[in-house]
Each structure stands twice: as structure tokens, then as C-alpha cells.
Chains A and B, each alone.
Chain A
Amino acid sequence: MYPHERSLVKDYESRPFALLGVNSDEDLDKLKVRMEKENITWRSWRNGGSTSGPISTQWNVSGWPTIYLIDSKGVIRYKNVRGDALDEAIEKLVAEAEASK
């Protein structure tokens, strides 16, 4: 997942796109070392340090990773898309956002 995410962040650097995480790791120090090593630069909420934290509980997340794609108006457009379908969906939504400006 990380290499794919890194390339998305890089490819869409100058376009209306953001990768945001909700992170459930317990050990924050260990996580930060890992993020440094994996070059994970995108921002994440801390989900109470647990998979049963408040954000994932409210969003009824029971599998990891769980992915939502939200358009520039804040509307949920895709859930749990992966691979090529994910790339296509992001490109479609970003192009939409650019066209509506």
C-alpha cells in the first residue's frame, strides 16, 4: 500500500487532492520511526491508539485498511476501491474538481 500511496501523493502534488489517514497504531513512537523510514508524509488523525478508537468506531470500520473517496464537495463517492479502479476513480474526481473551479 505505501508505495502506491506515496506515488499518488507525488502525482497529485499540485492538484486538488489530499491523502488523509485515520491511524490506529498503539505505539506512537514506533509508528513515527516507521513513517520516517517509509516516507509517509501525509497527515493522519490518531484513532485513540487502537482499532476500536472513536473515529473507526463511529465510521463502523471493521477491516483494515478501509478506504473512502470523498469528492471536492464533501460527498462520499467510492468505498474500498483498490488498484487500477482506485487510480481511475481519483483521476475522475480530481478532474471534476478542477472543472468546477
Chain B
Amino acid sequence: MAQSPPDKAEATAAVQEASLAEQVKAIIAKYDSEMNAFYEAYQATKDDEARNDLFAKLYPKPGPYMERLGAIVKKAPEDPASLNAILWMLGNRVTKDQRAEFLGVLLAHHITADEIGVACQAVSRDASIATEKFLRRVITVSKSHEAVGHATYALAGVLGRRISFKERLTKNFDLNQPDMVRTYGKEVVKLCEASSAKDLAAERKALLETVRDKFGDVPRYNSTLGKAAKGQLFEAERLQIGMVAPDIQGDDLDGVDFKLSDYRGKVVFLDFWGDW
């Protein structure tokens, strides 16, 4: 077989790809260096006034960076550089429309990338329909153990937030509470109203058990998904209002052992605190 000559179009594409990747890298690096400069100056401030002043002057506004990265994503959504741009943007502050748009791009072009787990972590505090759809898709198609683990854990979080919305709704909170509508959109509030708390809780529990049993080893911050899932399950099963509090036993600050159940007969105000 004759060797084919280097494909011109391919070569050009390679150059372009490298340059997009470089552009994204440079934009993020510039933001990071501005952020470092801000923190250095912040360390040196003496009072609140100086800090406020500094914040107004030096704190890098992500807006212009997001605009430039967003333009790259629009131009070449399928490029791996766009994946990196989106992962960075999701980790910063995005509006719910931006989030939905970026998740749509990830769904269309990058769903099988190993790094998709980073996106699942970045949206883990959201409860929107776009996020739910994205996470369910990752769980179905991703081959990355870490990504599926993070998606499963994050989906349990989405359902958990819907459960607490429902609790608020049943306590006669206004359905159109501005904060809920602003954060997640009217459709999520409607969805919460229509779904059954029991079903939501059952699916959430099953997801957390899957994380505990199959993805317990996956790192999450300085811990693991397994530990996080166990904590969530314990809270759902043992720490709800109306349940008898699990006992606490251990040393006090002088090294003397004592138990929560020693205080039966008294109302206990239990305060998880630190002097910070």
C-alpha cells in the first residue's frame, strides 16, 4: 500500500486545535495570575476598609474571561479545548442559562471524555432539569468509573434538593418564592410539586447505596465518594426530625469520656462548632 501524503486539511486542523487549546490555557492562566495577585495583596491588608477597597479594585471579574471562553466554545464546540473551557466555567459562577447551554455542548460532544466527572462535581449543587438530564446521560454512557461515580452521587444530590423543596412547599411556602425560581427555574418548582417525596427518597437512597457499594473508592475533595455517600445515608436513615438521636460517646476537651444519652430528661442543644 502506498503511503498517503500528509493530508493538508488534517494538518491545518491540528494547528488550529493546538492554538485553541493554547488560547484556553492562556485565558485561564491569566485569570489565575490575577487571582494570585489579589490574594497576595489581600494577605497584606490591615482592616475591613482596605479589604473592601482591594476587593473592588483587584478582584478579577470572571465575566470577560467567560466571554472569551464562551466564544471559543461557540466556534468549536467539539474541540477538546472547549471541554476544558467548559469545565473551568462550570467551576466558576455561571447563570442557569449558561449552565444549561454548556451541559448541552458536553452532552453533544464530550460525554465520553474521562474528565466529564469534573463537570458532574461542578454541578453537584444544582437541581435543574438540564443538570439531571446531563447526569443521567453520563451514568448511561460513560465508561469512566470516576465519572459515573460522581454523576451518581451528584444525581442523588439533585433528588435530595428536590425533596427539601417539597418539604418547604408542603409547609405552605410560596410556590413562586423568588430564590427558588431564580436559581432553578419555574419548571423545577413545578416538577417538585408534581413528584412524590416517597419516590424521590427511594431513588435517592438507591443511588447513594450504589455509590457506597460500587464507587466508594473514587476520590472526592480530600475524602472519597464512599464516605460522603455513607454520611448522606446515615443522615437520611438516622438523623431526621422525629427520630431518636444516635448516641454520641467520646472525650470532652479535658479528656473525660461522656455520652449524649447521659442527658436524657433534658432538652439538648447540640452545637457542632469551632472557634473560627
Residues of A bordering B, CB below 8 Å: 1, 5, 8, 16-25, 28, 31-32, 34-35, 43-47, 51-52, 54-61, 64-79, 90, 93-94, 97
Contact = CB atoms under 8 A, between A and B. Distances in A.
Contacts of B227: 57
A92 B274 CA distance: 27
Interface stretch (B1-9, B31-39, B106-114, B232-240): B232-240
Nearest to A5: B271
Interface residues on B, range: 35 or more
Nearest to B221: A52
- Chain B at the A interface: mostly helix, strand, loop or mixed? mixed
A18 B252 contact: no
B267 A18 contact: yes
Given A28-B253, A46-B253, A72 B267 contact: yes
A78 B209 CA distance: 26
B272 A76 contact: no
B265 A52 contact: no
B264 interface: yes
B172 interface: no
A8 B267 contact: no
A6 to B, nearest CB: 12
B265 A72 contact: yes
Interface in B232-259: 232, 234-235, 239-246, 248, 250-253, 258
A69 B269 contact: yes
A70 to B, nearest CB: 4
Contacts of A34: 275
A16 B266 contact: yes
B254 to A, nearest CB: 9
B271 A71 contact: no
A24 B263 CA distance: 21
B269 A20 contact: yes
B273 to A, nearest CB: 5
A74 B264 contact: yes
Contact of A44 (B232, B252, B265, B268): B252
Residue of A18, A47, A77 with most chain B CB atoms under a 10 A cut-off = A18
A51 to B, nearest CB: 7
Nearest to A59: B239
A24 B273 contact: yes
B175 to A, nearest CB: 22
Given A59-B239, A75-B245, A20 B267 contact: no
A22 B246 CA distance: 14
**Nearest 10 A-B pairs (CB), nearest first?**
A60-B231, A60-B235, A66-B272, A68-B270, A70-B268, A24-B274, A93-B267, A16-B266, A45-B250, A19-B269
B245 A70 contact: yes
A33 B84 CA distance: 48
Contacts of B266: 16-18, 72, 97
A79 B148 CA distance: 32
B239 A60 contact: yes
B223 interface: yes
A22 B240 CA distance: 19
A47 B239 CA distance: 18
B261 interface: yes
A70 B275 CA distance: 23
Contacts of B253: 23, 28, 31-32, 35, 43-44, 46
Given A22-B273, A23-B274, A45-B250, A72 B235 contact: no
